[in-house]
Structure 1
Amino acid sequence: MAIEPNGHRIVCMITFPTLAHPHVCLSLKFPQVKEPANFTEAMRDPCWRVVMREEIQALENNKTWITTHLPPRKKALGCKWVYKAKQKSDGSVERFKAQLAILSNHQVENVDYTKTFATVAKMVTVQVVLAVAAARRREHHQMDVHNVFLHGDLHEEVYMKLPLGFRVSKTDMVCELKKSLYRLKQASQCWFAKLSAALKTYGFTQSLSDYLLFVLKKADCYLVVLIYVDD
């Protein structure tokens, strides 16, 4: 029987009898879900073709970019498709997800980005908010916003090569980004600036100890909003 250097027997840690039934089902299902390694592989599967088409349509509906000619002395950033198969606890596929991500490692500071901001709430803030809500028996809810990074307005001049699968009439065109895209260095900064401005217009006050905490106080209302990014 194999023994790890720390003294724990591997068989006692990973054998199926020690796992709950849903986890066993998930373990057995893993090899059946193969995520594409690249665009060529994804195009062979109609499921991935559909989600890529839907992603492009969502980006166009959101007015994420306009197609134009690349200006002189400007460089267009590359982009890539990222694929993920979301699974339920029993191992079955919940949905296929395809995201278009920009290659931000080629961005140059003060050229196509200036400020960056990590939208991470302090753990002590999360603990205090939950503790106060529990002590005062307040209602608390969690809301998930899909494609949140795509809603940030982009103020810098950023150009991107045409994504694979996207066709235009002329081959020398590029995408001029009007809104932020996944993996863009300023993506967090862009959407948070838009969200915080909207909350302030509704009367929320931003905390100085944690910029991700907003509070609304009125005669018959006390509302606390805590923002965080989980991915």
Structure 2
Amino acid sequence: MSARPYTEPTTSSPAAQTSSTAYPLSAFLSYSRFSPSHITFLTALATSVESSCYSAALCHSLWRETMSTELSALEANSTWTLELLPLSKKPIDCKWVFKIKLKADGFVERYKARLVAKGYTQVEGLNYHETFAPIAKMTTIQCLLVVAATQQ
């Protein structure tokens, strides 16, 4: 069996012919069936850039403000306290997770940043004694009560 040399695929799409990608999506996908609002939303998804690390987020004032708001909320809710670390212990690492929340029309609703502990390194009784449980929203409780009342 002889090996044949690789040749670029040919396509009739002008966008695909100018692309340097071997298999551009435009040769296989079409946006023609999407409504204008969906196209706007998809464009916003494709063009918005979420920070992937803390150092990249520090370069943008929106992310710095969002991280500051998150830290203020953690302190206001007494989610954590600063403690002295025993000499024989290592602190549990944490990281920032960044998300851009979009409205249905594709516009940015808000920037969201969460400080999360790398919980896979924790040992119950050694690193923690209590577990954080989120509180249900009032609308969720009202919905549950409505279902219970209708079902008797």
Residue equivalent to 2:133 = 191
Structure having the higher strand fraction is 1
Residue equivalent to 2:44 = 29
Q: How far has the Cα of 1:28 moved from its partner?
A: 1.9
What TM-score do you get using the length of structure 2 for normalisation?
A: 0.65
Write out per-residue CA displacement over residues 9-43 of structure 1, whole angstroms, 9 at most, x where no aligned residue. Answer: x8797311111221111122234311111111111
What TM-score do you get using the length of structure 1 for normalisation?
A: 0.45
Aligned partner letter, 2:149: Y
The CA distance in 1 between the partners of 2:106 and 2:149, in whole Å, is 41
The CA distance in 2 between the partners of 1:24 and 1:215, in whole Å, is 39
Residues 1:44 and 2:87 aligned together = no
Change (3 A) 1:109 1:66: closer
The CA distance in 2 between the partners of 1:109 and 1:50, in whole Å, is 33
- The secondary structure found in structure 2 opposite 1:44 is coil
- The secondary structure found in structure 2 opposite 1:80 is strand
Structure 1 unpaired stretches of 5+? 3-9, 114-154, 157-185, 196-213, 225-231
Structure 2 unpaired stretches of 5+? 1-10, 13-24, 137-143
Aligned partner letter, 1:49: R
Structure having the higher helix fraction is 2
Residues 1:222 and 2:142 aligned together = no
The CA distance in 1 between the partners of 2:109 and 2:149, in whole Å, is 37
Change (3 A) 1:223 1:44: farther
Larger radius of gyration: 2
Aligned partner letter, 2:133: W
RMSD: 3.1
Moved over 6 A (4+): 10-13
Residues 1:68 and 2:83 aligned together = yes
